[in-house]
Amino acid sequence: MIRQKTFITCAVTGNLVKPEQTPYLPITPEQIANECLAAEASGAAVVHIHVRDPQTGKPSMDVELYRDVVDRIRLRSPELIINLTTGPGGRFIPGEDDPKVYAPGTSLLPPLERIKHVEALRPDICSLDLNTMNSGPDVVINTPKNVRKMALAMRAAGVKPELEIFDSGDLNLALDMIRDGTLQGPGIYTFVLGVKYGFAATPETVMYARGMLPAGAIWSAFGIGRMEFPIVAQSWLLGGHVRVGMEDNIYLQHGVLAKSNAELVERAANIIQQMGGEIATPREARSILGLPAANNISVAIP
């Protein structure tokens, strides 16, 4: 049996890591784009992108910030696979006196507001969170009705969803959405491991989640924090692809901050290669994911 190559996704900045946690977190569109391109040079084929307010470093959903990042990447590397997040906009923090009233920090948005940047920019793929779950002291809400609205809008925009799976119920929802035609199967899945109150970052969890997938599904897994690199190895051993990046973990090793996303990608690539695996280029990852070749992608020229 010939094993296919493994593609690495790099999640370069995320939504939750704060600039005060690490001075190396990319904030501006230029920094985010440069981190994506450096990650590609170290072995990443896919980049998962959030944007931040350049002045405050706080998470943003500004379409023009996304446009700036995407244009910078496509101008210099048309083959690199762009995956834009649609996760922000699902957090609810109940008020202390009345839990029906939201407290500061709530980010709930109408579902179609969460994908405006996807419709405008048409990336190769975009994330679709299927989870409603406790997240630290708060709750993330993605109702089946709203998830279906987002999925149908993604299809209309010609963008493939990457289904982020935080627990087994998310997979059951995905399977229902394939059965009712909302999603086209078998699908692209990413197992999110180590988020408190979600999937545990263990080999048993990866095996269980993999066993729930429909035949032919493409899947990756990643671990949060110190479990990032152990899950790289575990995902590869079970036939999956991998994800690393400062969204998920800011340390290269215990107590040593990663100075770039490229360092995290390079370490993941080394782990895979030391086990006998091969790293997929962006062009090869496009074939694995069923995406068009780069020469069919329009590149915005500023």
Two tokens, residue 129? 């969170």
Could you tell me if residue 122 is inside a domain?
yes
Could you tell me if residue 297 is inside a domain?
no
Could you tell me if residue 260 is inside a domain?
yes
Could you tell me if residue 2 is inside a domain?
no
DSSP for 63-78 reads HHHHHHHHHHHHHH-T
pLDDT band at 301; cut points 50, 70, 90: very low
In terms of residue numbers, what domain contains 121? 8-290
pLDDT per residue as tens digits for the range 99-124:
999 999 899 999 999 999 999 999 99
Could you tell me if residue 301 is inside a domain?
no
* CATH number of the domain enclosing 24: 3.20.20.70
Residue 89 sits at the vertex; the CA angle it makes with 259 and 143, to the nearest 5 degrees, is: 125
Could you tell me if residue 179 is inside a domain?
yes
- DSSP 8-state symbol, 258: -
* Contacts for 178 with CB less than 8 Å, ≥ 6 apart: 184, 185, 186, 187, 214
Could you tell me if residue 298 is inside a domain?
no
d(CA 220, CA 210): 10
Could you tell me if residue 299 is inside a domain?
no
From its phi and psi, is residue 221 left (phi > 0), alpha (psi between -120 and 50) or beta? beta
Count up the domains in the chain and report the number.
Answer: 1
Q: In this structure, are residues 272 and 6 in contact, taking their beta carbons and an 8 Å threshold?
A: yes
pLDDT per residue as tens digits for the range 126-170:
999 999 999 888 899 999 999 999 999 999 999 999 999 999 999
